[in-house]
Chains A and B, each alone.
Chain A
Amino acid sequence: MPNRSFLDAAQMSRRRFLVHAMGWGAAGLAASLPLAACQGAASRAARAVPATLHVFSPAEWRTLDAVAGRLLPAGPERPGGGNGLVANAADALLASAPMSLRRELKQLLQVFEWAPPLNGRWGAFSGLRTADQQAVLEAWEQSPLGLGRRGFAGLMKLSAMLYYMDARAWPAIGYPGPWIGRFDLGYGLDNQGDMAEPVNPNVFARIPA
């Protein structure tokens, strides 16, 4: 299990640690990002780091890609969270995030990458076998230390949100997505048409005594 001194040595801030990164807002740019080939098992070749990264170093990108790939495994009919789906979205999102947040997330990824020996797995996280990566993540989730659980929860929520907010994840779960673009309720398919007056007649009316 990770111990407190190790985490402190990594200078992870307790203040607002991944507060932003764990959130829904993390998916803000996800939908606009290209999806790499994402069917089937992850491979080193498919995990090619993009030529341009806004926030992450290539090593940090690989760690997040490995974490997301394990948190959101690919299936026969669904893409996985790896192969850039989550990591690219996170990199784009973090580009407009405060520097303190970027620093915290980068530190967390460094801890995840090098902490496996604390869980009895030798090697960097991104290089571990699938079963060992799974075991490391489970150990973080169940950590007796609040900070360890917090780190896991931050990455888990960030990855899950970025993944399932992406329309490419929807066919496998049967979610049809927004009405806009599918139904015209009288204001156009894009819903940009005018509404002449409020549907609620009480908005501008005198309130009865």
Chain B
Amino acid sequence: MSDWLKQVPSDYAGDVSLEADVCVVGSGAGGAVLASELAEAGFKVVLLEKGAHHTRRDFNQQESAMMPKLFEDGGARTTRDGGMMVLHARTVGGSTAVNWAICFDPPARVLDEWAEKHGIERIRLDDLAPHLKRVRHVLNVQPLPETQVNRNGRLLLEGAQKLGMQGGIFEHSRTACVGSGFCILGCAYDRKQSMLVTYVPRAQAFGARLVPSAEVTGFEEDGHQVSAALGTVTNQETGKQYALRVEAKLFCVAGGAISTPQLLLKAGVRDPSGRLGENLTLHPTTAAIAVFDEPVRGYEGIHFSTYVSDLESEGIIIESVFAYPGLMAAAGRLWGARGAAVMAQYEHLAAAIVLLHDDGRGRVGLGASGEPVIDYWVNETDQAKFKRGLATLAKIYFAAGAREVVVPYAGGLTLKGPGEVGRLDAMRIEPNRFAAFSAHQMGTAAMGADIHRSVTDSYGRLHSYRNLFVCDGSLMPSSIGVNPQITIAALADRTAHHLITHAERYLR
């Protein structure tokens, strides 16, 4: 017997030169779907991925080993001022390989805004519905069975219910999940239906060639079209790099809203709008930790299972999520005797995040060595949302029976009861005083009808090119407000079918 998923080694010994109909750069929620759909339609597809092809056997469930392997900068990427951690993946499957498998359909009101304010064609929920249906089928999206909601998830719902608030259980992309809880370190049992175990092998089955450890750094242009992608491949054993060149009829960049503008800016592509890298949204997120008398053991089972939606119309979602010890202590600013005392109660801790549909915007630029430089901090509107979300979360936890609620704020901010929630108003939401992070990046190559206000057209084509597309979260003109993987996948399916329908225009 051999394993169903064949690992593609990064054992390069010389330069790599390939020809294809379509060259896709990035194998995450956008790139993998696009590659699979085009390969299934009969096109010759090359799928390039900057990260290595780590598979089930590589995922040892240890933070110390997996974070450096699977995340950009080992998971330590931040905004320029260090104020926000910006988590995104560098591995085959992209961020879907290291997320919690949450599937939230896009809110209709956001899609309507994209149609009305930005003139994007065929983007309303009715238009996206068939594409959502297709990707939901392949990813096996289903509501999480109630039996798989762990105590951490239940406490959030119990508290919300006591306050008369609305909540629910997430839909997930999982099959026969064993509930080990190590999703963000790569699923060691192939149960999380990430791109790594769905659309990437599906694309390969239809003939697409996966090339891991392949970093594109520029393009050859011929008039208004791109003729080749240029870069390097890296032998993961020796660290040696070799030249990469891929000639194709069509190129699609799908590296995510940080790496995509990084590549396009480095490549010096023409952008009449001047908006490439601008309009960055991050779904800024913070967390609170609650201490209960009862054992919670939030590390058991699926860590990310329930949400409270009462504040969604205000652009705030509260989601239960637990963290491994290293992440919990670092993100929670749990240091000194106070921090040790909190961590000593690890089995009695519950945790949840406050995620914002951001009002503010940032940008991605290039550093001196071509690295992405991210400028972003939450504006006053979003600062108020953080306070409102944290206050609501604290009330929920106290209603559920929490003894204390710990907020990740300089100096330590521990609330001893609902009467102390007002103390949150005095927080100064400043970089490195208040802990914030992002796991969702969007908007840096936004779609739109106006060539002077948008980087790409309604289907992700850069306005100045016939055959250069973007296919990831960069396309979103505003943050989607919910976990975005299913929206990105559906948009990729939509782009793929647009390309197939108009192949004579784009693939000649």
Q: Lowest 3 CB-CB distances: which A-B pairs, in order?
A: A25-B74, A23-B76, A178-B61
Report the bound CA distance from A146 to B81 in whole Å. 8
CB of A156 within 8 Å of the partner chain:
yes
Interface of A is mostly: loop
Bound complex: CA A146 to CA B84 (Å): 13
Give chain B nearest CB distance to A104 CB in angstroms: 11
B367: Cβ under 8 A from any A Cβ: yes
**Which residues from chain B sit less than 8 Å from chain A, CB to CB?**
1-5, 56-57, 60-65, 67-68, 71, 73-78, 80-83, 85, 134, 137-140, 175-176, 178, 180, 182, 188-191, 193, 197-198, 201-202, 205, 299, 324-330, 333-337, 339-340, 343-344, 346-347, 367-368, 371, 373, 410-411, 430-433
> How many Å lie between the Cα of A15 and that of B65 in the bound state?
27
Interface stretch (choices A36-44, A45-53, A58-66, A201-209) = A201-209
- Chain A 3-27 interface mask (CB, 8 Å, partner B; 1/0): 0000000000011111111111111
Residues of A within 8 A of B138 (CB): 202-203, 207
Say yes or no: B432 contacts A146, CB within 8 Å.
Answer: yes
B75, A25: Cβ atoms closer than 8 Å: yes
Shortest Cβ distance from B434 into chain A, in angstroms?
A: 10
A173 B175 Cβ-Cβ under 8 A:
no
In the assembly, what is the distance between CA of A152 and CA of B81, in Å? Answer: 13
A17 to B1, CA, bound (A): 50
Contact present for B330 and A156 (CB under 8 Å): yes
- Distance from B76 Cβ to chain A, minimum over Cβ atoms (Å): 2
**Given A175-B346, A198-B190, A207-B134, are A180 and B64 also a contact pair (CB < 8 Å)?**
no
A124 close to chain B: CB less than 8 A: no
For residue A180, which residues in chain B have a CB less than 8 angstroms away from its CB? 60-61, 188
A198 x B197 contact (CB < 8 A): yes
**Bound Cα distance from A204 to B191, whole angstroms:** 15
**B62 CB contacts on chain A under 8 angstroms:** 31, 165, 178
A13 to chain B, nearest CB (A): 11
Residue numbers in A under 8 Å from B373 (CB-CB): 15
A175 contacts across to B, CB distance below 8 A: 299, 324-325, 346-347
Starting from the known contacts A141-B410, A161-B329, 17 additional A-B residue pairs (CB-CB under 8 Å) come to A22-B78, A24-B75, A29-B64, A31-B62, A70-B336, A72-B340, A73-B337, A142-B411, A146-B83, A163-B326, A165-B62, A176-B299, A179-B61, A180-B188, A191-B56, A191-B189, A200-B140
**Count of chain A residues near B, Cβ 8 A:** 71
**B335: nearest chain-A partner, CB-CB:** A71
Cβ of B175 and Cβ of A200 under 8 Å apart?
Answer: yes
CA distance A14 to B80 in the complex (A): 8
Give Cα distance in the complex from A179 to B326, angstroms: 17
Q: Does A34 reach chain B (CB closer than 8 Å)? A: no
Assuming the contacts A19-B76, A27-B67, A152-B432, asked whether A163 and B137 have C-beta atoms less than 8 A apart, the reply is no
Report the separation of the CA atoms of residues A3 and B373 in the bound assembly, to the nearest whole angstrom.
26
Contact of A73 with B73 at beta-carbon distance under 8 Å, contacts A146-B431, A197-B4 already known? no
Q: Point out which of B190, B299, B340, B346 has the most chain A C-beta atoms below 10 A from its C-beta.
A: B340
Complex Cα distance, B326 from A97, in Å, reads 20
Chain B, residue nearest A192 (CB): B57
A57 CB–B CB distance under 8 Å:
no
Distance in Å from the Cβ of A199 to the closest Cβ of chain B?
A: 5
State whether the Cβ of A82 lies closer than 8 Å to any Cβ in chain B.
no
> Is A103 part of the contact surface with B, judged by Cβ < 8 Å?
no
Which of B68, B82, B191 contacts A28, CB < 8 Å?
Answer: B68
A203–B328 Cα distance when bound, in Å, is 34
With A20-B74, A27-B64 already in contact, the answer to whether A172 and B344 are too (CB < 8 A) is yes
Whole-angstrom distance between the alpha carbons of A18 and B191 in the complex? 36
Q: Which of A26, A195, A198 contacts B76 (CB 8 A)?
A: A26
B76/A30 in contact, CB under 8 A: no
List residues 77-96 of chain A with CB under 8 A from any CB of chain B: 78
CB distance from A66 to the nearest CB of B (A): 14
The CA-CA distance from A25 to B185 in the complex, in Å, is: 12
- A150 on the B face (CB < 8 A): yes
Residues of B with C-beta under 8 A to A19 = 73, 76-78, 82
Judge whether A153 and B432 touch: CB under 8 Å: yes
B residues less than 8 Å from A165 (CB atoms): 62-64, 324-326
- Complex-state Cα separation, A73 to B344, whole angstroms: 12
For the complex, is A154 an interface residue (Cβ under 8 Å from B)?
A: yes
| 0/1 interface trace, chain A 136-171, chain B, CB 8 Å (1 if under) | 011001100010011011101101111111100110
Taking CB atoms, residues of chain B closer than 8 Å to A73 are 336-337, 340
**B67 lies within 8 A of A173 (CB):** no
- Whether A164 lies near B61 (C-beta < 8 A) is no
- Residues of chain B with a CB closer than 8 A to A14's CB: 80-81
Chain A residues within 8 Å of B65, by CB: 28, 31
Do A185 and B178 touch across chains, with their CB atoms under 8 A apart? yes
Chain B positions within 8 Å of A207 at CB level: 134, 137-138
CA distance A176 to B81 in the complex (A): 36
Interface residues of A in 102-155 (CB under 8 A from B): 134, 137-138, 141-142, 146, 149-150, 152-154
